Every structure is written in C-alpha cells, then in structure tokens.
Structure 1
Amino acid sequence: MNADPHGPFHGPLAHAYACAAHIQVANEAAWNSPGGCSCCTPEQKREGLSEDWGIASPDAWRRQAEALVSEDSNAPATTLLELRMVSSQAVGQPIDAGLWRDAIARMCRQRGLDEAVYQRLIDLAGTILDYEKRFMADGLLPPGAIVPAIKAWDLGRGANMARWGVQCGYADMQTSQWFAMRASEQALRYYTTWWDFSAGYILGRCLHFDQGSFSHWYTTPLEVHHLMMTHPQSPWLNLPFRG
C-alpha cells in the first residue's frame, strides 16, 4: 500500500485522507498524499475534472467541493435508508423487508406521493437489499448488518476533490485541507467504523453506476475494501475511526 512519507499518518487530517482511500488506492496512489494523485499530471487532472465533472475554474471546483461535503442529500436512497433506521429505532429492533415496505407506504401516504413514486421506492429498496445480501456474501458486511447511509460516496469523493484542487492549481493547501477535514467531520456523523463507512461508499457508487449488475463498479471497490481491511499498513487498521 502506497503512502507519502511527507503526508500525515496520524490525527484528524490523516483520518480525512483515509476517508478518500477508495479512490487513491484504486489508482495506486499514496493514500495520505496532500496534493492529489500521482497517476496523472496537473494538466491531465484539469482535463479529467473538466470532462468528468464540468470543473474548469477555481470557482467551479469550490462549488463542487462544497456540494460533496455538505450536510444536504436529497437522494431517494438516502430517504429510504433514513426511514429504515428511524423505523428500526421506533420498534427497538431491526426491521425486515416487509416492515420496511410498510414504512415506505406510510411515508408515501403522508407526503401525498402517487403509486408510481411508491413503486420506484419499493424497487429501489429491493435493489438495496440485493446489494446488502451480496455484501454479506462477499465479506463486505457482517451477517445481518445493514448499510446505514450512502453519504460516504459523497464524502470520499469530496476528500479527494479537496486534494485535486491543489493538484490542479484551483486551491491552496489550507483551503484544500479545510474541505478534506470537513468530509472527515461529516463521516463521523453518519458512521461508526471504517467497515460501515466503506460499505456506504460502495453502495452509493453502485446505486449511481452499477444498477444491480455487480460489474467492475462493484468489484473494484470491493477489492480495495478487502485490501484496506487486511494490509498491515492500512490506515483503516491503524487509525481509529472514532478517536
């Protein structure tokens, strides 16, 4: 596992960079590098951000970084996972697929949502359950566990976006590290372990790209997850998620 000898290995900033490990490690870059990835030049990174994110200026970079590390998320999957968590807390135990379906129906009635919206949410809940079942089979989740939130998908990318700002010349180091630290702080609101943070990241990525096909959009971060959970130099084994 690559590490920058001049980068942080302990403390809050190291935790922030560890939140972005999925992308860095997949690119064979140093997980704790303060200045972005080593897989491309600054010119190539600027070109990549322009093509993939529509970012071509410092202002555009800042807007995207702010969006990724913000508290807001209107994704339907976020609504469903929050609903499942609240419903579980209300009865004091995990809820099964049937009770989750009932909770979705009640929410739709209370919000005046029509049958088409209800069906889309039910289908999405089914997709989430399918992923969680596969996650357990592949050792990504312990038996009987669930993914608490998908915010890690934004936060992991946000911590990397912070570093890419330095690499592209769109941000100074102080600004970059502020955004990375913000991603870390947000992660602590949603997750308790590196394990569930990683599962949240992978589920968010899969719901965005994979659409139930279990393609490389799933298998690549799964490989990174297992590496991070087993490599003796992994920050996920040497940094407590909660200090």
Structure 2
Amino acid sequence: MGDGGGALSGPAAPAQGWQAPSAVERGLYEAKARGDWPAYYDLVARADLYMMQSRAYVDANPGNTRFHPYWNPQTGTMCLAVYTGGMLPPPVADPVYNCYDLGWFARAWEQNDPPYLVVNPGSPCEGVLPAGPEGRALWQHHSASVEEPGLARDAVHTLETGGPRSGLVAFGLAVGAHINVRNGQYWNAMAYHGSGYRIEKNTLERWWSVTTREQWQRMQELLLSAGMVSDVWEFVLQLRRTMALDFAGPVDVEHWREAAAKVARRRIEAATEPRLTADGVTPGHTVTPAELEGQVTGVQRLIGRIARYEARFRADGLLPEKGFVQSVEAWDYGRASGMARWGLAARLCSLQEAEAAVVRAGRLVQLNYRSWEAFSAAYILGRCLHFDEEEFGEWYETALATHRALTTDPTSPWLTLPWA
C-alpha cells in the first residue's frame, strides 16, 4: 500500500523521455514520485475522469453506464481503467469516452465490481486505487470538498503534448478560446472529447438542435459564413464604418442614428416597389407608415445599445479610447471554431473535417480583424447583443473575465501566437 493514501505503489512505468500532457498529469506524476498519496487522491478527485464506453450502448441507454474491466497483471485481478483529459486517444467512431468524477465512482461502485480503479494505466502517472469499502470511503473523503470537478473555469489550460501550440490549426483553435477558457477546457485540444461523448451530444441537441451529421454540416457552414449574426447588427456597424472612412474620424452617435434612419427608410421603401424579374413584375412588400417608423425606431434603438456597450467596453479595457467595433461576425467565427470540436466530440464529423473547419475560422478572423483584442471585443459585443439585454450581468461579466485571462496569462495563445 502507498504511504497513508490507500493506493498500490507497485512498479512505476519508466518516465525517461516522458512529458506530461498537461498540468493535471504532471501533478499526478509528481505526487506519485514523492509518495504523497493524499495529494494524488486530491488531484484525482478534482479531475475529470473519462471511461471507455460502447457508442451503441450509450446511444441506446443514455442514462446508464457499463463498466468494461480489464485484466491487470500488476494486481493479478480485473481492474477498471479511467483516464484524465490529457491521456485520452484521438476520438474515433467507436468506442467513445464519457466523463465522470471520483465521487461518482464512490457512489456507483457495487460489491461485485473490480477490486481496483486504475487511473491512466501504463503511464508514469498511473495510480492503482483500491475499490473495497475502505478504498471507496477514501474516494468519498477526498471528493467531499470538491464543488466542481474538472479544470477551472475562466483560466487558460494548455495541452503541452497532444495539441498544437503553433501554426494554422492552433490559430483556429485560439479563435474558439473564449468558449474553451470559459468552460474550463484545453484551448488547443484538437482531438477533442470535451465533457465526454454523452454530454457533448446532449449539449449540441439542447443548444443548437443538432443531432445528425447533416445538421452539423449545415450549422458549421452557417457559422463560417457568419450567417447567424443579425443582418441589422451588421447593417448599423457597417454604416458607421463607412461614415468613419468618409469623414476620416469618429462618428457622433446622433449623426449615426440620423444616417441609419435615412438609409433604413430608403431600403424599406424600395422593398415596397414592384420589381421586374425573369418571371415578370413581382409586387413589392406592403409596409404601413407605422411599420416603417417602427423599424426605423428599432434601428436607432439598436445604435443606442451598441454605443452604451462600447462605452462600457472602453471603461473596462475591452476597447481603446475612441475605439469601436467594426463587425460582430467574430461572434459566429468563434462559435464556428467551437462547433468543429463539438461535432467531433459528438462523433458527427471526422478529426480531419473538424481541423479543416477550425483552420477556416482562423483565416476568416485574420481577414476581418487586426488583433486578438479587436476580435475579442467584437465577439463579446455579439454575445451581449444576443443574450445580455443590456443588463451587464453574467453574460457580460463572464466574457470580460475570459478576455482578461486570454490577454494577461503568459501561456495564452493570444500572447504566444503571432497575428499574421
């Protein structure tokens, strides 16, 4: 037994030339090397633990889990294997990996289950945890103080091996870093398992109504074409950008409102006129004066919202003094990078397809923005216009925290990856 920790020390796998994939595995290795099993258990209790499952079984039994023990010559018994996030193989069609935590195993384990739970089997950071009544009590003890297992939210987490840290793929993954940092995921995990197959699949369905490969493909293309961003948002922002170029300087909000009202009226009135098409004369859309004024008022109200958000952005350091957002297409490009990885985790696409989509998202961001900071401000404005309703509440505060992490953490891809 290990020194006070209840784990089998056993023969350690050779560590020469081995590099821990992330801080999680490095911490496990170091605790094991010094024989500090209480610290090892604490790290396991805080970690996401992934377990292999049959995809067909998970799809047919979404609320159930099946153990798949293996023979372990070290213990001379059957054991159950679990893996921390950095030790997972690239996703394939089958099997899949669901995500659990040590407290869950303590509650779910039954008398006839294997006598040992093995963390990262065969690696230098392997831990063989006894699963008898005393062992499970130890699991529960170390899990009791853990409020939320997994990587910390709003912090930059990097795979030191197994994930790109330079090049086009890394840049495209960094485009999705707002999402990954907020959710406590490795920003550069291209071979992405996320929160495990079952949760990733359910999340895609709940938030995006995506359940099939075809739906994923359509949604991926829609995001890469900035097709989810409101045309009205882009209209007012592009109008201001044109005015700023014409007048070689900042645009007053009232001037912006007046110009938007004039252009909106012209566009709406033009849409009411008959048009000559290949099929003949096509009637225009009927718009009452009240409807026309209502649409114009809506555009002017939107300009006020954007101006107030940008004022807050400047106060909080998201924008420089006199800076403004030119386009909120960043909101879609960031989510396009995320959608590529979500599709892979849910087994709706291949690794190669996900990688290609990530690279496209990166190129689009480079074409449309001049810096990570400009991209981030545009992404956050899109997020706030979509969700926040000018409350400056959780939707804004969490995005601001993520922005600050990505622009200050020395390991952030926004500080290590060149823009051009």
Shorter chain as denominator, the TM-score bin is: over 0.9
Secondary structure (helix, strand or coil) at the match of 1:229 reads helix
Q: Which residue of structure 1 lines up, in the alignment, with residue 178 of structure 2? A: 22
CA deviation digits over 1:201-241, x for unaligned, max 9? 10000000001001110000100100111000011011122
Which amino acid counterpart does residue 165 of structure 2 have in structure 1?
Answer: F
Alignment correspondent of 1:179: 357
**2:394 is matched with which residue: 193, 216, 234?**
216
Separation in structure 1 between the aligned mates of residue 343 and residue 219 of structure 2, nearest angstrom = 10
Structure 1 range deviating more: 66-75 or 125-134: 66-75
| CA distance in structure 1 between the aligned counterparts of 2:259 and 2:192, rounded to whole angstroms | 43
Find the counterpart in structure 2 of residue 135 from structure 1. 313
1:101 maps to which of 257, 274, 295: 257
Q: Does 1:119 align with 2:275?
A: no
Does structure 1 retain, via aligned residues, the 8 Å contact 2:216–2:343?
yes
Please give the secondary structure, in 2, of the residue aligned with 1:112: helix
Equivalence map 1:1-243=2 (5 Å)? 1-4=156-159, 5-36=161-192, 38=194, 40-72=195-227, 73-112=229-268, 114-241=292-419, 243=420
Going by fraction, where is strand more abundant, 1 or 2? 2
Asked whether the 8 Å contact 1:35–1:164 carries over to 2, the reply is no
Asked whether the equivalents of residues 163 and 191 of structure 2 are also in contact (C-alpha less than 8 Å), the reply is: no
1: distance between equivalents of 2:260 and 2:394?
A: 31
Q: Which runs of 5+ in 2 are unaligned?
A: 1-155, 270-291
Contact 2:158 2:187 in 1 (8 A): yes
Question: Cα offset for 1:66?
Answer: 0.6
| Counterpart contact for 1:148–1:190, Cα < 8 Å | no
CA distance in 1, matches of 2:408, 2:230: 34
3-state secondary structure, aligned to 1:132: helix
The answer on whether the counterparts of 1:76 and 1:121 sit within 8 Å (CA) in structure 2 is yes
Counterpart CA distance in 2 for 1:11 and 1:209 is: 33
Percent of paired sites with the same residue: 36
* 4+ aligned runs moved over 4 Å, structure 1: 71-74
Question: In terms of Rg, which structure is larger?
Answer: 2
Normalized per residue, the structure richer in helix is 1
Contact 1:13 1:177 in 2 (8 A): yes
Aligned residues: 241
d(CA) in 2 for partners of 1:56 and 1:135? 36
Work out the CA distance in 2 between the residues paired with 1:27 and 1:112: 42
Deviation at 1:187, TM superposition (A): 1.0
Distance 2:394 2:193 in 1: 21
> Aligned with 1:30: secondary structure?
coil
Over aligned residues, Cα RMSD in angstroms? 1.3
TM-score (norm 1): 0.95
Q: Which residue identity lines up with residue 192 of structure 1 in the other structure?
A: R
Mapped partners of 2:308, 2:230: distance in 1: 22
The TM-score normalised by the length of structure 2 is 0.56
Q: Which has the higher contact order (CA 8 A, sep 6+)?
A: 1
